[in-house]
Amino acid sequence: MSLASRLKSGETIYSGWSHITDAFAMEALSRTALDAVLFDMQHGPHDTASVAALTGIFRSAHKHALVRIPVGRFDMASRALDFGVEGVVAPMINSVEDARLFAAAMKYPPLGERSWGQMRGRPGSYGAGGSGGYLRDVNESTLSFAMIETRAAYAALDDILAVDGIDGVFVGPSDFSIAWSNGQEVDAASEAIIEPLTHIAAKTKAAGKLCGIYAATPALAKRFAGLGYTFLPLAVDTAYMTLGVQNILDALKD
């Protein structure tokens, strides 16, 4: 079942968040109970080469792969879809125009202007044919998440959600906390942002679209799920290593 089908059915999806570009590390991550992985091209070292190389690992493990592209690099959204990812998170979508540009790169006509290419993102890939069904279904089966991180994005939420080709929103709680506090703090767990986060989830669900949010800790993941968020990337793969080592060392001391 596709990521889109699972999320649209109401399932909560827990995803990894990846900064590590090593194939062995990603093979290990693909064998965990996580449903998906998100490759971070904005703040992490992932690039088109690593996304192209590593997406296949998760597809082979019957897991879902997504990317977060750099700010404004909507061309990378189309390339990532060609590589086989099922969803793209676009940062700093602050206006309806930003949302339209993002949707245009993500969707084939009539919803958008995505260019056709021969790659692994479709059945019959690498030029082997059999692409009619993919073209018919792909606009529904690939997901475009517009990030809500600023006061401008929050104010434009209804208009962003109304854009055809935007499948949902994704909150960056750290950046949102900076914006909401007018630069006074960065705190993804701040009580001050709970009300607007609740509002975002409610508005998104009312529009019939999907809502995700980054959760740095299990406690935050539980809290955000309680607000109605159903796509929840957890911490980051570098933290999985450091926390795992620390847990082993702590166990030795018991």
Q: Tokens standing for 2?
A: 């596709």
Q: What pLDDT is stored for residue 131 in this prediction?
A: 64
Q: Tokens standing for 192?
A: 């001050």
Residue 213 sits in which domain range?
Answer: 3-253
Residues 6+ apart with CB under 8 A from 34: 14, 15, 16, 63, 234
- pLDDT, block means (10 residues), the chain with 254 residues: 98 99 98 98 98 96 98 97 96 99 98 85 53 84 98 99 99 98 98 98 99 98 99 98 97 93
Q: Tokens standing for 39?
A: 């490759």
CATH code, domain carrying 202 = 3.20.20.60
Number of domains within the chain:
1
Task: Give the Å distances, CA to CA, from 136 to 103, 110, 130, 131, 215.
Answer: 17, 11, 12, 9, 34
* pTM summary value: 0.95
Residue 153 identity (one-letter amino acid): A
Q: Is 228 helix (H, G, I), strand (E, B) or coil?
A: coil
Among candidates 45, 42, 17, 28, which has minimal Cα distance to 221?
17
Residues 6+ apart with CB under 8 A from 193: 173, 176, 177, 180
Q: What pLDDT is stored for residue 130 in this prediction?
A: 56
Q: What pLDDT is stored for residue 135 in this prediction?
A: 87
